[in-house]
Chains A and B, each alone.
Chain A
Amino acid sequence: MLATLLSAAVTSWGAPLAAERFSVGGPNAPTPVASYTLRARLDSNTHAITGEGTIRWVNASAASTDELYFHLYLNAFKHNQTVFNRSAFTRARSGRVSQHWGHIDIRRLTARELGGADLLPHLEQHSPGDPLDATDLRVALPSPVAPGSVLTLDIAWESVLPDIIERTGFSRDFHFAGQWFPKLARLEQDGTWSHFTFHPHAEFYADFGDYDVTLDVPEAMHLGATGHRVEETVSDGRRVVQQRASGVHDFAWTAWPAFEEQHARILETDIHLLYPPGHGRNAERTLDTLRFVLPLFNSRYGPYPYADLTVVHPPRHAGAAGGMEYPTLITTGGAWHASYWSRAVELVTVHELGHQWFYGLLATNEQRWPFLDEGLNSYAESVAAEALFGAASASDLLGFSLSSEALRRASMQLEPHAAPLALPASDFVSFAELAGVVYSRTALLFTTVANVYGAAEVDAALLRYAQRYRFRHPEPEDLLLVLTEVLGEPAVKDIRAAIHQGHGVNYVARDLRSALMAEPRGMLPAAEAGVAPASAGGRFESRVDVHRQGELQFPVDILLITASGEHVWKYWNGDGRVEMVSHVGASPVVSAVVDPKGSIVIEENLLDNAVRQHPPFPVNTLDRLVYAFQLLLGVLAP
């Protein structure tokens, strides 16, 4: 009877393992370079994960290598002198340091193809000039591994999760395991390893591979993880779950007894939604958002290729685990009472889903060029949010609305100096600067390019980029190459300057003047010679100077409005320092505005774009402020 009960506890989660929507070995198929078969057990009391397994690594570069590099990201939380924790001024988003230290130690490491050589004695910390940091480890190999050769590593390790200060860790009985296993760095095509110390501003970078992971957690835990659930058994108070994922470059999972679950199918993808009690409304909002955005991103950046997507909404006490992306698993956030007008739940869902392309499928080096994932994804998020909500894409309450664009400009202007977009994450002085440049400035640059050169052209370029480099590791020049193919060199010249030099632009309208034209006088040629100037006829000559500050040269429209209400459109290709815009007509120009449609949203200052002869008193502002103070006087009456 007991045996029957135990075997009956074998369940499956969702549909049977669906074939991934790519054929291994086919065009654009992911080439497994670093594949992991792991088995891990969680002790929910000590928050320790003990694991073992094998890593099958292929030297996919063109050169032999006699070393390996491992990222042991969890060691960032080992003490307060790691690069991640050491400075109060560069700590990442939360700004906090763990109270419960976390770490990861490799206990066994042998290489089958090298005669079962024990590599453990050859492990050495490799954070240059930083002996206290153990997030980047080098392993010297006894003999080189030739290009195309396979190395099978048998590995055992123990991880202890920190309390969650960012992305990974535990909070009470909630566990989120990100970067929880020893992860091979990526060997580039030229034989150099892309490895780095874990910096608080940085994210991750790894090779594609196939993951087969068996997780052993207390029975009471609800579990969500990267990939597809192959098997789930419950026995002796433990829940054992096997997950498989092909063509991914990371694996994360979460376990919490209190999770509630919803499952849905959108197109060909099974959605598994895990959320805290009381968040049913947020779960519906998340699913509604996914129903709209998943097909949209499929059409814009190529189809989502996996059979599953797990969405985790962490509980409030573990909020630092929210807003993060892993292959086929994203974490969201928001209070149970999150208002509809705030759009917070929707926007975080859109953003993290977008990372399935800009990080997941386009597996860029997030430490070296964070703009390639966060920046392009922020642009993708803005486009999707506008498609979903219109201009009021960030919030809308009783006519007072905010767009993602407006918020991005505010974020960009918090750090007014223009840094190159292509800086490494660790080169930014603060996360606010990184956010302003990497997230906001990049998104605003692409919005500007779309507004100026055509949204359809930018869409086509990003689709081509996403298709060409799907399951690959593109670099900035790859993006620029595709943009040049579609948009042409003039547009890309500006994008390149913004990416590599941090160039910006600001248009200023100044000195609007109008004067009645004088009748021709003096020693003019005779009328019969046919060169005599025409009579001024009471017409006005008007002129406004439009200055371009900064190096970027976007073409702009200039709108002149005459006293009689006539609208005159002028065009400036942006070449040169200043353009003197003239108009001759029966009525003087009384108002001029550069970029009246607000296309160049990356501009430094939008308020100096207009000039007007007699600016009106701001009656609308007065109306609102007087009303607000009138009400306040009533409320504050003692």
Chain B
Amino acid sequence: MTELTWPRARSRRRIARAILATYAFRLGAAWLLALPVVHTIAASGISRFPEGDKKLFESGGLYLLEVLQREQATLFAHLFSAAGLLLLFSFMGLGFDWLQLRALRSTPPSQPLSSDAAWVLPRLVLLGALTWLVRAVLLIVTLTLAMTVRSYFLTAADERIPDLIFLGLLALGLLAQVGISVLRDVVSASLADRDIGRSQAYLRGFGLLMRHPLSLVTRYASSGTATLAVLAICAAVVAQLDVARAGAWRTGLSVALHQTAVLLTILLRTYWLSGALRAAELARR
């Protein structure tokens, strides 16, 4: 593989629909997750102030802490139950990732959507579960290793030494997690191809990552870095916007900025997925 380029032959409209479907799913799922918490906040009494819930965002956090402290039992209960839903929605999100991959294919799909979905989704769920398992094991190994190695250096007079060693090992673990993400997405792209079996798709993904680690990781990392930049810029702009100050337009603009940021992160992921798909397609030829 010499280059990873955006596939030319595809329907832009189909891609746009897939992106919008992903966005709509995330919005709807997040809305469902947030609503019980929002109702608790509304019932706390903060909405009865003339400023409404803008008071929660006042500098100093006086009312925010007041609400969190007084409603902590209810909020914890909501967040606990939200964790189960979050798990469910995370797996449902796999279907929307696949929709994007399907839309990004350079050749039009030969099977109807429902048939394709019935074939690929169980495989993607299995891949997702496997990914989580490997991620969890890697996280435990990384933390155990980092803490153990750090403990050998705790007697150093300079406190930075054990901490920097710890951070260095965490960074290595993070790099491995990035590798898993890349592998997952490349395998996902391969799984979408109905001509090959599950094990072949996994092997193809491994093979691709082994042959082109730099180009794949670079593309993934560039998409990830851009995502982080979008989030940081959004946070900084919304902080400057200061919704606690008077003016409904501040709230409107904050909503617009947040949703734009979410849309951009989805677009950046689509950019990466197109690369993963292109790599899988080139490997097939």
Q: Which residues of A contact B (CB under 8 A)?
A: 172, 257-258, 276-279, 315-317, 335-337, 390-393, 398-403, 405-407, 409-410, 413, 559, 561, 591, 593, 596, 598, 601, 605-612, 615-634, 636-638
B residues within 8 A CB of A615?
42, 47-48, 52
Instruction: Please choose the segment from B8-16, B63-71, B205-213 that sits at the chain A interface, where 4 or more of its residues have CB less than 8 A away.
Output: B63-71
The answer to whether A612 touches B48, judged by C-beta atoms less than 8 angstroms apart, is: yes
B residues within 8 A CB of A337?
163
B window 21-70: CB within 8 A of A: 26-27, 29-31, 33-35, 37-38, 41-42, 44-50, 52-54, 56-67, 69-70
**CB within 8 A of A407: which of B46, B65, B266?**
B65
* New A-B pairs, 18, CB < 8 Å, besides A616-B47, A637-B93: A172-B155, A277-B160, A398-B235, A399-B240, A400-B239, A591-B49, A606-B62, A617-B42, A620-B56, A620-B57, A621-B37, A625-B38, A626-B27, A631-B262, A631-B265, A633-B26, A633-B93, A634-B265
The answer to whether A610 touches B157, judged by C-beta atoms less than 8 angstroms apart, is: no
Tell me the bound Cα distance from A591 to B52 in angstroms.
Answer: 11
A residues within 8 A CB of B87?
636
The answer to whether B42 touches A559, judged by C-beta atoms less than 8 angstroms apart, is: no
Closest to B92 in A: A633
Tell me the bound Cα distance from A429 to B91 in angstroms.
Answer: 49
Tell me the bound Cα distance from A612 to B46 in angstroms.
Answer: 10
The answer to whether B70 touches A278, judged by C-beta atoms less than 8 angstroms apart, is: no
* Top 6 closest pairs, chain A to chain B, by CB: A399-B239, A638-B128, A403-B60, A629-B30, A618-B53, A625-B34
Q: Specify which of B62, B87, B259 lies most central, judged by the most chain A CB atoms within 10 Å of its CB.
A: B62
Tell me the bound Cα distance from A308 to B163 in angstroms.
Answer: 34
The answer to whether B49 touches A612, judged by C-beta atoms less than 8 angstroms apart, is: yes
How big is the B interface, by class?
A: 35 or more
The answer to whether A607 touches B44, judged by C-beta atoms less than 8 angstroms apart, is: yes
A residues within 8 A CB of B54?
620
Tell me the bound Cα distance from A407 to B69 in angstroms.
Answer: 11
Tell me the bound Cα distance from A89 to B62 in angstroms.
Answer: 30
The answer to whether B60 touches A406, judged by C-beta atoms less than 8 angstroms apart, is: yes
Tell me the bound Cα distance from A172 to B156 in angstroms.
Answer: 11
Q: Nearest Cβ in chain A — how far from B114, in angstroms? A: 23
The 29 sampled A-B contact pairs (Cβ below 8 Å) are A336-B160, A391-B59, A398-B236, A398-B239, A401-B61, A406-B65, A409-B62, A410-B65, A410-B69, A593-B49, A605-B66, A606-B63, A607-B63, A607-B67, A608-B45, A610-B50, A612-B50, A618-B47, A619-B251, A620-B251, A621-B42, A622-B35, A627-B261, A629-B30, A630-B26, A631-B265, A637-B97, A638-B91, A638-B132
B255 at the interface (CB under 8 A from A): yes
Closest to A567 in B: B50
Tell me the bound Cα distance from A637 to B92 in angstroms.
Answer: 9
Tell me the bound Cα distance from A605 to B251 in angstroms.
Answer: 27
B residues within 8 A CB of A393?
60
Q: Nearest Cβ in chain B — how far from A191, in angstroms? A: 48
The answer to whether A277 touches B238, judged by C-beta atoms less than 8 angstroms apart, is: no
The answer to whether A402 touches B86, judged by C-beta atoms less than 8 angstroms apart, is: no
B residues within 8 A CB of A598?
62
The answer to whether B26 touches A634, judged by C-beta atoms less than 8 angstroms apart, is: yes
**CB within 8 A of A336: which of B37, B129, B159, B259?**
B159
Q: Nearest Cβ in chain B — how far from A315, in angstroms? A: 7
A residues within 8 A CB of B27?
626, 630
Q: Specify which of A257, A336, A402, A630 lies most central, judged by the most chain B CB atoms within 10 Å of its CB.
A: A630
Q: Nearest Cβ in chain A — how far from B64, in angstroms? A: 8
B residues within 8 A CB of A634?
26, 93, 262, 265-266, 269
Closest to A605 in B: B70
Closest to B262 in A: A630
B residues within 8 A CB of A392?
59-60
B residues within 8 A CB of A623?
251, 254-255, 258
The answer to whether B60 touches A619, judged by C-beta atoms less than 8 angstroms apart, is: no
Tell me the bound Cα distance from A637 to B96 in angstroms.
Answer: 11
Closest to B63 in A: A606
B window 64-90: CB within 8 A of A: 64-67, 69-70, 82, 86-87, 89-90
Tell me the bound Cα distance from A626 to B159 in angstroms.
Answer: 40
B residues within 8 A CB of A413?
69-70
A residues within 8 A CB of B86?
629, 632-633, 636
The answer to whether B60 touches A391, judged by C-beta atoms less than 8 angstroms apart, is: yes
B94 at the interface (CB under 8 A from A): yes
Closest to A258 in B: B157
Tell me the bound Cα distance from A316 to B156 in angstroms.
Answer: 11
Given contacts A391-B59, A610-B45, contact A278 B52 (CB under 8 A): no
Given contacts A618-B53, A636-B86, contact A278 B65 (CB under 8 A): no
Tell me the bound Cα distance from A490 to B82 in angstroms.
Answer: 51
B154 at the interface (CB under 8 A from A): yes
B120 at the interface (CB under 8 A from A): no
A residues within 8 A CB of B60?
391-393, 401-403, 405-406
B242 at the interface (CB under 8 A from A): yes
How would residues 243 to 256 of chain B score, 1 for a CB under 8 Å from any chain A CB and 0 otherwise? 10000000100110
Q: Nearest Cβ in chain A — how far from B229, in angstroms? A: 14
Q: Specify which of A317, A398, A629 lies most central, judged by the most chain B CB atoms within 10 Å of its CB.
A: A629
A residues within 8 A CB of B97?
637
B117 at the interface (CB under 8 A from A): no
B residues within 8 A CB of A631?
231, 262, 265
Q: Nearest Cβ in chain B — how far from A560, in angstroms? A: 10
**CB within 8 A of B50: which of A316, A559, A627, A632?**
A559
B131 at the interface (CB under 8 A from A): yes
B158 at the interface (CB under 8 A from A): yes
Q: Nearest Cβ in chain A — how far from B208, in angstroms? A: 20
Given contacts A607-B45, A607-B67, contact A629 B34 (CB under 8 A): yes
Closest to B46 in A: A607
Closest to B156 in A: A277
**CB within 8 A of B38: which of A410, A593, A622?**
A622
Tell me the bound Cα distance from A483 to B176 in angstroms.
Answer: 64
A residues within 8 A CB of B255?
619, 623
Q: Nearest Cβ in chain B — how far from A338, in angstroms? A: 11
A residues within 8 A CB of B269?
634
B residues within 8 A CB of A409?
62, 65-66
**CB within 8 A of B47: which of A276, A612, A624?**
A612
Given contacts A618-B53, A625-B34, A638-B132, contact A633 B159 (CB under 8 A): no
The answer to whether A277 touches B157, judged by C-beta atoms less than 8 angstroms apart, is: yes
A residues within 8 A CB of B37?
621, 625
The answer to whether B67 touches A276, judged by C-beta atoms less than 8 angstroms apart, is: no
Q: Nearest Cβ in chain A — how far from B166, in angstroms? A: 11
Q: Specify which of B52, B58, B67, B90 lies most central, judged by the most chain A CB atoms within 10 Å of its CB.
A: B52
The answer to whether A276 touches B91, judged by C-beta atoms less than 8 angstroms apart, is: no
**CB within 8 A of B159: which of A257, A315, A616, A628?**
A315
The answer to whether A638 touches B129, judged by C-beta atoms less than 8 angstroms apart, is: yes
The answer to whether A627 touches B258, judged by C-beta atoms less than 8 angstroms apart, is: yes
Given contacts A634-B265, A638-B94, contact A406 B61 (CB under 8 A): yes
B residues within 8 A CB of A402?
60-61, 65
Closest to B23 in A: A630
